[in-house]
Amino acid sequence: MAETNGSDTVTVYIDDEPVVVPKGITMIEAAEHVGKEIPHYCYHQKLSVVGNCRMCLVELGWPMKDRATGEPILEEDGSPKIGWGGKPGIACNQPVAEGIRMRTDSDLVRDCRHGVMEFLLVNHPLDCPICDQAGECKLQEYATEYGRGYSRFIEEKNPKPKRTVLGPRVILDDERCILCSRCVRFMQEIPGDDVLGFIDHGSYSTLTCYPGRELDSNYSLNTVDICPVGALTSRDFRFQMRVWFLKPVDSICTESSVGANTQVWAREGKIYRITPRQNDAVNDTWMTDSGRDLYKQVEAEDRLTTPFVRGIEATPVQALRETERLLRPSERVAVVASTHSSVEEQYFLRRIADRTGAQRYAVRHWGEEDGLLLSADRTPNTRGALLTGLLDELPKPDLRELGAAIDRGEIDTVLCIHEDPLACGLTVEQVRKVAWVRMATHASPADEHAFIALPSLTVFERSGTFINQQFRLQKFRAVVPGPAGLLTDLQQLASLNSLLEDGPVASVQPDHAWKELSAEPGPFAGLRFRTLPSEGVALDPGEHARHPFPERQSLKYEADSFLASLPAATTAS
């Protein structure tokens, strides 16, 4: 048996197998280390432990010690004598300790699970056919795997309220609630809004909101994610589609520079919901409610679906050639860059700007920060624009400087990515004075005055990378195909660049950009899109960390300590 050697690990025995695990975790987590699942409802990795569901009951044993001398008692063969507790214990609340034993598959443990499942199902409704959780319900899964398989219950079930509206986005079915208190603890511990709680006793126990309050936090939908059963359902996703038809694709939330990792669930080209994807360096297992709504932009009425040249419909290729014709001879070009663009798109826009000697502008989109997963910079990729060299300072509040340059007659062509000039302080006259080329996903009133409109794709329809507030490079993948016939933003910018360079126009994927990006010395050296891990990589920001970014504090980021954690050479001013 391994000695406690003052290191950070201990050896525990799970079903007689020795396992070396870090100190400070619990036995349920130790089992996970070796790929053993101990069924559980109330335990959640990111929440405090309450131990109220009893689903994780196991047999636990400790090496015995002589009370008088404190010496370990040994068996005849010299191995330590194990004192098995008289009763089963819960694995979720048992910290690991040197030499502790756990049986996860004995007859007693199986009996315990049968019993707990039976109690949970006593008053549970037969709702699976109409329950949104079906297919990802822990009660269904454990009933199959650990339940007795038949019911002994002949009594009438206990009715409870079934369609309680808890808040603008969440509905509660009390009959399905197993009173695990995950939702209560989440609201207390993560957003710190103690609005949920139980009232009454025994079979009358009911989850409810504090009197006069509702569950209206911008994090309320996380309770739906962690509810192990179908008690809490999302009003947006409710009854829309069965989960077994949906395919999840890894993506990144574009709501702010936090860059929460997400999964986007779609069936046959239609997106149904967005859920958080665990990344302990960025968002743990949470995301905002507002970020989950962003998929609606895909099917918005005002999507741009055809390219226009001087108000006449064109093919994407014609529109790009027309744009090239405008940019090529001109020495008075401006680009309006976007911090919504991916790193790859920004890289090609930089090459276009370099070649045409364009003046560069960008608009910032800042808002209130909530200290959790909504940061002050409401765009996903401001750091990308800096690190690719597209911008050398933070975006400005508006485009008035560009307006002044237009008025002075210094500009005659503007290549504008995503921004709406009229919303950024320009007048119709200023837009009309130049050849305005606008690449965007959605229509704006400015399009009427634009010379060329190049429709682009939403984040759900293209692939690429963003750099979040922690200078973490993270990738997102296309979930659904874009409107028929449209080119990706990356393809349009890369083609435009090739046309301007008189090079061949070819099909471009994110990795083509990375071939060139990774060849340059700097933060991107040696990186590739294809091999970028799904949890992203932290980049070395170098001098760029010193820009006056608006973000102060979020779940996993604190501006001052972030700066302090960087190598001294890069932060010394």
Residue ranges binding ligand SF4 (CB under 6 A): 124-125, 127-129, 131, 133-134, 137, 139-140, 176-183, 207, 227, 229-232
Choose the contact partner of 161 out of ligand FES, other proteins, ligand SF4, none; CB within 5 to 8 A by kind: other proteins
Q: Using CB under 6 A, which of 10, 27, 47, 90 touches ligand FES?
A: 90
Residue 442 is given by DSSP the state: B
Cβ-proximal residues to 370 (8 Å cutoff; 6+ apart), any chain: 218, 554
187 vs 271, which CB is nearer to ligand SF4?
187
92 vs 229, which CB is nearer to ligand SF4?
229
Choose the contact partner of 90 out of ligand FES, other proteins, ligand SF4, none; CB within 5 to 8 A by kind: ligand FES
Least distance to other proteins, CB of residue 114, Å: 24
Cβ atoms of residues 410 and 358 within 8 Å: no
Kindly indicate which of the ranges 238-246, 288-296, 339-347, 456-464 contains the residues binding other proteins, using the contact rule CB under 8 A. 238-246
Closest CA to 278 of 534, 530, 539, 48: 534
Choose the contact partner of 40 out of other proteins, ligand FES, ligand SF4, none; CB within 5 to 8 A by kind: ligand FES
The tally of CA atoms less than 13 A away on the side-chain side of residue 430 is 20
Q: What is the 3-state secondary structure (H, E, C) of 134-186?
A: CCCCHHHHHHHHHCCCCCCCCCCCCCCCCCEECCCCEEECCCCCCCCCHHHHH
154 vs 569, which CB is nearer to other proteins?
154
Q: Using CB under 6 A, which of 19, 21, 30, 40 touches ligand FES?
A: 40
**What tokens does 251 get?**
């993506």
Based on the shown chain and the rule CB under 8 A, indicate whether residue 153 belongs to the binding site for other proteins: no
Based on the shown chain and the rule CB under 6 A, indicate whether residue 43 belongs to the binding site for ligand FES: yes
Cα–Cα dist 117/139, whole Å: 8
Q: Using CB under 8 A, which of 11, 206, 290, 318 touches other proteins?
A: 206
Choose the contact partner of 92 out of ligand FES, other proteins, ligand SF4, none; CB within 5 to 8 A by kind: ligand FES
Choose the contact partner of 56 out of ligand FES, ligand SF4, other proteins, none; CB within 5 to 8 A by kind: ligand FES
Q: Using CB under 8 A, which of 25, 49, 50, 241 touches other proteins?
A: 241
The residue whose two tokens read 């047999």 is: 59
Choose the contact partner of 87 out of ligand SF4, ligand FES, other proteins, none; CB within 5 to 8 A by kind: none
183 vs 490, which CB is nearer to ligand FES?
183
Cα–Cα dist 330/369, whole Å: 41
Cβ atoms of residues 39 and 22 within 8 Å: no
Cβ atoms of residues 196 and 223 within 8 Å: yes
Least distance to ligand FES, CB of residue 59, Å: 14
Kindly indicate which of the ranges 13-21, 125-133, 147-155, 483-491 contains the residues binding other proteins, using the contact rule CB under 8 A. 125-133
208 vs 251, which CB is nearer to other proteins?
208
Kindly indicate which of the ranges 91-99, 241-249, 370-378, 527-535 contains the residues binding other proteins, using the contact rule CB under 8 A. 241-249
Cα–Cα dist 79/73, whole Å: 9
Based on the shown chain and the rule CB under 8 A, indicate whether residue 247 belongs to the binding site for other proteins: no
Least distance to other proteins, CB of residue 269, Å: 15
Cβ-proximal residues to 492 (8 Å cutoff; 6+ apart), any chain: 316, 320, 439, 454, 456
The tally of CA atoms less than 13 A away on the side-chain side of residue 9 is 9
Element (H, E) at 466: strand 464-467
Kindly indicate which of the ranges 240-248, 313-321, 331-339, 433-441 contains the residues binding other proteins, using the contact rule CB under 8 A. 240-248
Based on the shown chain and the rule CB under 6 A, indicate whether residue 55 belongs to the binding site for ligand FES: yes
Closest CA to 460 of 274, 281, 323: 274
- Cβ-in-10-Å burial (0-12, 13-18, 19+) of 310 comes to exposed
The residue whose two tokens read 């994110």 is: 510
User: For ligand FES, how many residues bind (rule: CB under 6 A)?
Assistant: 12
Instruction: Tell me the three state secondary structure of residue 245.
Output: helix
Q: Looking at beta carbons, which pairs linking 104-109 to residues 24 or more positions away fall under 8 Å?
A: 104/14, 104/15, 104/31, 104/36, 104/38, 104/58, 105/15, 106/59, 108/59, 109/57, 109/58, 109/59
Kindly indicate which of the ranges 48-56, 344-352, 449-457, 565-573 contains the residues binding ligand FES, using the contact rule CB under 6 A. 48-56
Based on the shown chain and the rule CB under 6 A, indicate whether residue 186 belongs to the binding site for ligand FES: no
Q: Using CB under 8 A, which of 2, 34, 130, 428 touches other proteins?
A: 130
Task: Count the residues in the chain.
Answer: 573
Q: What is the 3-state secondary structure (H, E, C) of 340-392?
A: CCCHHHHHHHHHHHHHHCCEEEEECCECCCCCCCCCCECCCCHHHHHHCCCCC
Element (H, E) at 188: helix 182-189
Choose the contact partner of 207 out of ligand FES, other proteins, ligand SF4, none; CB within 5 to 8 A by kind: ligand SF4
55 vs 435, which CB is nearer to ligand FES?
55
Kindly indicate which of the ranges 38-46, 76-84, 137-145, 555-563 contains the residues binding ligand FES, using the contact rule CB under 6 A. 38-46
Interface positions with other proteins (CB under 8 A)? 125-126, 128-130, 134, 156-163, 200-201, 204, 206, 238-242, 244-245
Residues that bind ligand FES (CB under 6 A): 40-43, 51-56, 90, 92
